[in-house]
Structures are given as C-alpha cells and as structure tokens.
C-alpha cells in the first residue's frame, strides 16, 4: 500500500509541474498581412515588433499551420511568437488554433496591433477592450467570444484625409517615423518580456505612455 501511495504521489507531482509549466508559456501574436507588399507598412507593426525580438533572441520563424512561429525562453518562461498567415481580417482562427495547440490560457496571450487613435510610437498595453475599429481585433473577439485578453497597441497616428484611412494604414512609414522606429521597436521588445515575467499590471504601469 505504501508503494502504491508513493507512486500516486509522484504522479500527482508530475501533473502539478506540468500545469505550472503551462502557466509559464506565453503566446505573443503580432498582427499583420503576409506578402512583401505589406512589409514596412503601418498595419504590419505587429509583425515588425516580433521580427525585432526574434532578431535580438537570435531565433528564426518557421512556417507552420496558420502562421509563422518562433519561440525562446527567458527567465524560466517560454515565449511563442506568432505571425498569423490568415491575413489581418481572419486573425482569430490562427490565434485560437495556437492557443489550443500549445494549451495556453487566455491570460497568457498578448495581441500586438497598430492604433490610429494614438500618435506615432505611443504605446498602450491594456487588459481588455473593444476592437476600436481594428479588423484584426474584431475577428479575434468573434472567434474567442471575448474581449478580455491583453493587447499591446502601437500608435501609428491619423495623418490622413477623409476616406484615405485604408491607404494610410497600408502605407509605408514616412522618413521621420522610420528614423524613430528603431528605438520604439527596442521598447516594444522589452514590453513583451515584461508581460511574461513582471505580469500585465506591472507592464502597464511601467510602459504605458512611454
């Protein structure tokens, strides 16, 4: 009987450790559109930020189901970086698939997107919220059936004339923005690591508006 109890205790410990490991996995999703013509466009800032942290961590993205994926470990946490290949308006399908595949809880998901309501480079990390007119977030809300997930909004400004919104977000960075972008990308990479190690609230307090 003692042997049986000992074996059971080991099994329970294994399960507990597995759950703890899962809670240390984070899915970081950068929204964007696939294809060379979308490279360096405002709408693809999510891809741009993930490319930056992948470069810093010296990892490569690999094409997989519904997206390109890379991963790295930092301070005992596993960060899975996802660039959906479904195009912006169908981002939810990719997010849901990788959440399920990797057993990642909703509270460990961070969605990165552009925001027309913020000036260029302004950062806002939030615990939840509406889609704000962003088609990528709109689809994620519909697929996940919730708005209660963390999102990292990167300001791209609203310097466009009436009826030119699509052209603006699908346009390239201007010369001044391009010069300032490297520092903003460095800050963005810090935010991703902070989300997984310091937690959402501390990350919001430390980086919002910076």
The Cα 17–Cα 45 span in angstroms is 36
Q: Which residues contact 24 (CB under 8 A, 6 or more apart)?
A: 76, 77, 78, 196
The Cα 100–Cα 112 span in angstroms is 19
The Cα 157–Cα 76 span in angstroms is 36
pLDDT of residue 164: 84
pLDDT of residue 33: 96
pLDDT of residue 23: 72
pLDDT of residue 189: 97
134 classed as catalytic: no
Residue closest to 134 by CA, chosen among 120, 152, 122, 121:
152
CB atoms within 10 A of CB 41: 20
Q: Which residues of the chain have pLDDT under 70?
A: 1-22
Catalytic, out of 43, 48, 83, 184: 43
| Structural domain boundaries in the chain | 21-207
Class of 21-207 in CATH: alpha beta
- Containing H/E element for 88? none
Task: Give the global pTM.
Answer: 0.88
CB atoms within 10 A of CB 199: 12
pLDDT of residue 13: 47
- β-strand 67-74 against 109-115: which pairing, if any? unpaired
Q: Which residues contact 177 (CB under 8 A, 6 or more apart)?
A: 120, 121
């Amino acid at each position: 009987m003692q042997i049986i109890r000992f074996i059971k205790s080991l099994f329970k410990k294994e399960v507990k450790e597995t759950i703890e490991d899962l809670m240390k996995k984070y899915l970081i999703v950068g929204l964007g559109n696939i294809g060379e013509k979308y490279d360096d466009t405002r709408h693809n800032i999510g891809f741009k930020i993930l490319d930056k942290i992948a470069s810093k961590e010296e990892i490569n993205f690999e094409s997989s189901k519904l997206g390109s994926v890379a991963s790295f470990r930092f301070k005992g946490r596993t960060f899975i970086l996802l660039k959906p290949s479904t195009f912006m308006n169908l981002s939810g399908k990719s997010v849901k698939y990788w959440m399920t595949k990797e057993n990642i809880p909703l509270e460990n998901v961070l969605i990165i997107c552009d925001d027309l309501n913020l000036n260029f480079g302004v950062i806002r990390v939030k615990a939840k919220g509406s889609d704000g007119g962003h088609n990528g977030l709109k689809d994620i809300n519909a697929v996940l059936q919730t708005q209660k997930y963390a999102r990292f909004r990167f300001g791209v400004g609203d310097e466009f004339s009436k009826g030119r919104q699509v052209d603006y977000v699908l346009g390239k960075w201007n010369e001044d923005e391009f010069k300032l972008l490297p520092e903003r990308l460095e800050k963005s990479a810090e935010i991703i690591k902070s989300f997984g190690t310091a937690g959402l609230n501390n990350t919001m307090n430390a980086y919002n508006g910076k």
